[in-house]
Structure 1
Amino acid sequence: MLSGSSFRLDTPKSLAIRIAQRLREAITDGQFPLGSMIPEESLATSFGVSRTPVREALGQLQLQGLVVIRPQRGSYVFEPSEDDIAALCEFRCVLEPRAAELSHRNDSEGTVKALRAAIDEMAQARAARDAVRYGRADTALHEAFFTHCGNPYMQGAYATAAAKIAALRIYLSAPTDVLNTAGFEQHSELLALFEAGDFTRFEATMRMHVIGTRDNYTRVLKQRIADAAEAGKSSIGGL
């Protein structure tokens, strides 16, 4: 027989959850550079709280892959490897076309409405040259397939990587995507194929789109590494 205390629940840590949500937004909006240290003490002061809920929030973000906590050193925004980028993009290639097909079956009208709203927002962001706004709209478009697919297990699977995918989009592709037409046109084509219910071509277009994203991420990542190495040489040379 179970004792009365064996299923006792802790009081919900609403403050830590709220801090985690705000930090998640800051990271996925590009307010913290990839690999940068997240200052616990400064954050606690900014939020007007002790460091305890900040640490709890960072622990939650570590589970989402957005934060790396290094004992005795501190907390850092994640920094992807080429292998990590390749794995995430393959995950998307497998999951997104099926989620789109299910959302067409489950709630075609609601999905189309969300896709059109996202594309309209992307167009406005391009006109304003607003990379963060463009990245948010891009994220909203891809997440619409999962929001409307009606399958909680598929939604849960995507949620394990959604924040990281959104952050990579802001950091590594949105600054160039907002200036170029290719990605925007691919999103418009995906909408047209979705409305037509042509999921053979939809899957092929989605795979081409995601593979292009992977290649762009990898190129930008390599350039970041090269720039950092060059900056390090310059710093040493100036000593």
Structure 2
Amino acid sequence: MKKPHEGSLGSKVASRVRDAIIHGDIALGESLSEDLLAEVFSVSRTPVREALRQLEVQGLVELHTKSATKVFDPTPEQISELCEARFVVEHRAAALAFAKSPAEAGAELSAVVDDMEQCIKNDDMQGYGEADSRFHDVFYRYCGNRYLVSMYDLNLAQVAALRTNLASLSPGEPHRSFADHRLIADMFSEGQADELEETLRAHIHRTEENYVAALKGMRENSEESRLSVLKRALRTDRPIR
């Protein structure tokens, strides 16, 4: 829900890089050179270093002292832990939102679902991912608990980046995901949330499975591509004697 504080040059650079990672324009595991970022943004290395430190706090980059900074590249275990923590926090936020403002939250959830449906029709997966994030934001805006919001903000960027980079690679998505969102929105609108916990649990668990499978496939394809490049680079018309 939050973005880096605006004002400083470093924060502005961080915001631009953050958006590029979340939108999938910069891939997971991508190297980020301080010199290149300074050149791209026409700034010195000082605001770039500030930006990278901010992004490290958000979990979006990993700083290395003797090599280029890299965009976070989660393991399957990290994805599982993130999804587990997400469910614990998100279920409580959704339950509080339903208890306090079911009609208002339901109206916003339904409006976002309509946007998601339009994105599917337009084959706009980036727009769908952004709408997906807006859907889950609703729980926190209506939960009335600042500490839940802070816990959500702590991992928001990573969740959004995984959603953009991996969700579109999962078979059957986004249609299965869309059905879950429609069902949850209907629960709020109809004032019936008896199955909210189990629906949200199943939704996030399937998300975890999809992300892990998509990550595995992406890495296998990347390894195959690197192998093909190496073979082409080493190919010669004459055998080694």
TM-score strictly above 0.5: yes
Query: In the TM superposition, what are the counterparts of 1:97-112 in structure 2 within 5 Å?
Result: 97-112=91-106
Q: Is the 8 A contact 1:134 1:178 kept in 2?
A: no
Q: Is the 8 A contact 1:97 1:199 kept in 2?
A: no
Q: Is the 8 A contact 1:194 1:202 kept in 2?
A: no
Deviation at 1:175, TM superposition (A): 5.1
Give 1:144's aligned residue: 138
Give 1:79's aligned residue: 73
Compute the TM-score of the two structures, normalised by the length of structure 1: 0.89
Uncovered stretches (5+) of structure 2, i.e. residues with no partner:
1-5, 235-241
Give 2:220's aligned residue: 226
Asked whether 1:27 is paired with 2:38, we answer no
Q: Read off the aligned partner of 1:117 and give its amino acid letter.
A: A
Deviation at 1:114, TM superposition (A): 2.2
Count of paired positions: 228
Q: Read off the aligned partner of 2:160 and give its amino acid letter.
A: A
Q: Distance in 2 between matches of 1:208 and 1:38?
A: 36
Give 2:239's aligned residue: none
Q: Distance in 2 between matches of 1:113 and 1:51?
A: 46
Give 1:37's aligned residue: 31
Q: 1:19 to 1:28 in 2, by over 3 A?
A: same
Give 2:237's aligned residue: none
Q: Distance in 1 between matches of 2:64 and 2:104?
A: 43
Uncovered stretches (5+) of structure 1, i.e. residues with no partner:
1-11
Q: 2:194 aligns with which of 192, 196, 200?
A: 200
Q: Is the 8 A contact 2:28 2:73 kept in 1?
A: yes
Give 1:93's aligned residue: 87
Compute the TM-score of the two structures, normalised by the length of structure 2: 0.88
Q: Read off the aligned partner of 1:213 and give its amino acid letter.
A: T
Q: Percent identity?
A: 36
Deviates more, 1:87-96 or 1:37-46: 37-46
Give 2:119's aligned residue: 125
Give 1:155's aligned residue: 149
Q: Is the 8 A contact 2:32 2:70 kept in 1?
A: yes
